[in-house]
A and B are shown apart, each in its own frame.
Chain A
């Protein structure tokens, strides 16, 4: 079992969540409570990672992070190393390809809050911040939790984008999904199998536990 790759995948998934979740909460809330003409285009843009092949997203991200792009040059000046083929580059890529998995459940959760609940908060004299932290966030919590779990599990298993942007650098960009591919190519089926089983178990347990918790929470609120 290649624990280094498993650790790297868990580290990548955690870092992705830390960056993505606050962003997704802000964007999801904004999309849920506003109505403007360009909204379908924004929603479409955010959903692109669901329909585009990972290699296409990976290709564009690789170009965007490369030494020829302004982003790549800016990062190189700042950090002294390239963004592409680095762990930080993987985090950026992972945040981008997980956007629909995080934003959509959060947006639906905020949309599910009845307008009269929001109006009641206003009539109770709550400021925007008070209403958001005391009413909106707790009510949207099941959606936020689903978004976190989906993004975490998806990051653990992502292959195409990670390969395009990060390559296969042990300890830096070689995640468990890459390692499985690597081992299978080398006909080390035992190692590939054990790592696949481990990934399957982590993903299944995470999703099943969170689904059970969310369902219990929703049932308690509906009852």
Chain B
């Protein structure tokens, strides 16, 4: 069931139109306070907005223009909130059975146990929520959410209250569950890694507005705006000049450097561009590269900080003394090829990794019309 959304609200601002694909996991990614949870609650019918239109698989759940609003209890949604919201006075089994009150008691119990099996939390039927760990609570909340066989499963930062190890395990379990129940899932998160690992579709949200939406791989590789790129943790933002376009290729002049890049659209001129620190490739001088390097740039090491299993290196590109290019390297690479400040190195900025922002290109008048 695909979800078509049109949401508008004044104070706090929400302005978003998007279609979330059927049967996939869509991540709503954005910083805290960007309106992700409001979007989820609007889909669930828990929040009324100034203007809202929520259509799920051809069925309209809410349409403020027609004064139509299906109550939350009648929408086929499963909702897992950040704190799980388990009913504290009911046991694990009681919590799941509460979502199945429409069924006769015998059937209810059997179905609740099946859901607990699916969520991998069988055997704790008689425990109360206070007797469960964070991961167990999350599984019970998931079992309760899938009990009504929802068409849409909404997950509001469901992994934020569990430790890193449990989180990794829960990721795998969620993906397995998604394969088995084939529901459309919407996951709210501010964790980029989580979104990248779980979602096949990505919506970047900031200040209540949609920055970009699309298949996760595409959005992660090619953010369309600087704001989207910053949300995706890209660190290098520079101004360049799109000098010439030749089919799908363009030439980006960056100070004294000429970089070959993908053409962002039918415009030329000053362009804002970026490259992820992990995509800045260090060229080892002991390798026989000769002329095969793509967009080589000479630079001087300005600063080097080891950070966990990797190192952050800031480089000053040749001819651009005021700029800093950030590079991220695995620490083991530094043991093989040590770097020190003031050392001159060559890095490679591959054309496919250069992201030229469509909204950052300013149109330049053709030379013939210049006065």
User: Chain A interface (Cβ within 8 Å of chain B)?
Assistant: 114, 116-117, 119-127, 130, 134-135, 138-139, 220-223
Chain A min CB distance to B268 (Å)? 52
CA distance A208 to B102 in the complex (A): 42
CA–CA, A114 and B81, complex, Å? 12
* Cβ-defined partner of A221 (8 Å) among B41, B81, B89, B147: B89
- Which B residues are in CB contact (< 8 Å) with A221? 88-89, 130
- The yes or no answer to B367 lying at the interface (CB within 8 A) is no
B103 to chain A, nearest CB (A): 11
Q: List 23 A-B pairs, Cβ < 8 Å.
A: A114-B85, A116-B82, A116-B83, A117-B88, A119-B41, A120-B81, A122-B72, A122-B73, A123-B73, A123-B77, A123-B79, A123-B145, A124-B98, A124-B147, A125-B73, A125-B102, A125-B148, A126-B73, A126-B101, A139-B89, A220-B130, A221-B89, A223-B130
With both beta carbons as reference points, the residue of chain A lying nearest to B154 in the complex is identified as: A123
Q: Are A123 and B72 in contact (CB under 8 A)?
A: yes
Q: Given A125-B102, A130-B101, A221-B130, A120 and B87 touching (CB < 8 A)?
A: yes
The secondary-structure label for the interface of chain A is: helix
> B71 in the interface, Cβ–Cβ < 8 Å?
yes
Q: Is the CB of B85 within 8 A of A222?
A: no
Bound complex: CA of A123 vs CA of B152, how far in Å?
A: 11
Q: Summarize B's interface: helix, strand, loop or mixed.
A: loop
**Min distance, Cβ A183 to any Cβ of chain B, angstroms:** 47
Contact indicator A117/B85 (Cβ below 8 Å): yes
Decide: A117 and B79 in contact? CB cutoff 8 A. no
Say whether B99 faces chain A, with CB atoms less than 8 Å apart.
yes
The contact of A123 among B44, B83, B86, by CB within 8 Å, is B44
B21 in contact (CB, < 8 A): no
Give 1 or 0 for each of B40-56: 1 = CB within 8 Å of chain A CB.
Answer: 01001110000000000
Interface residue B135 (Cβ < 8 Å from any Cβ of A): no
Other A-B contacts than A114-B83, A119-B46, A135-B98, 9 sampled, CB-CB below 8 A, are A119-B85, A120-B81, A120-B144, A123-B79, A124-B98, A124-B147, A125-B74, A125-B99, A127-B73
Instruction: Say yes or no: A116 contacts B85, CB within 8 Å.
Output: yes
Tell which of A123, A134, A135, A222 touches B78, judged by Cβ atoms closer than 8 Å.
A123
Q: Quick check: B89 and A126 within 8 Å, CB to CB?
A: no
Partner of B99, one of A116, A124, A223: A124
CB distance from A128 to the nearest CB of B (A): 9
Residues of A within 8 A of B148 (CB): 124-125
The residues in B between 108 and 147 inclusive whose CB is less than 8 angstroms from any CB of A are 130, 144-145, 147
Q: Which chain A residues border B46 with CB–CB below 8 Å? A: 119, 122-123
Q: Mark B62-95, 1 if CB is under 8 A from A, else 0.
A: 0000000001111001110111011111000000
Residues of B within 8 A of A121 (CB): 87, 98
Contacts of A120 in B (CB 8 A): 79, 81, 85-87, 144
B89 touches A138 (CB 8 A): yes
Question: In whole angstroms, how far apart are the Cα atoms of A223 and B129 in the complex?
Answer: 9
Cβ contacts under 8 Å, B44 to chain A: 119, 123
Q: Are B81 and A119 interface neighbours, CB within 8 A?
A: yes
CA distance A114 to B86 in the complex (A): 11
Give the complex CA separation of A143 and B86 in angstroms. 20
Task: Give CA–CA (A150, B235) in the complex, Å.
Answer: 63
Question: Which residues from chain B contact A126 at a C-beta distance below 8 Å?
Answer: 73, 98, 101
How far is the CB of B107 from the nearest CB of chain A, in Å? 15
Contact B87 A125 (CB under 8 A): no
A115 smallest CB distance to B (angstroms): 9
| Bound Cα distance from A127 to B82, whole angstroms | 23
In the complex the two chains form, what is the Cα distance from A69 to B309 in whole Å?
A: 85
With the chains together, A48 CA to B86 CA distance in Å?
A: 38
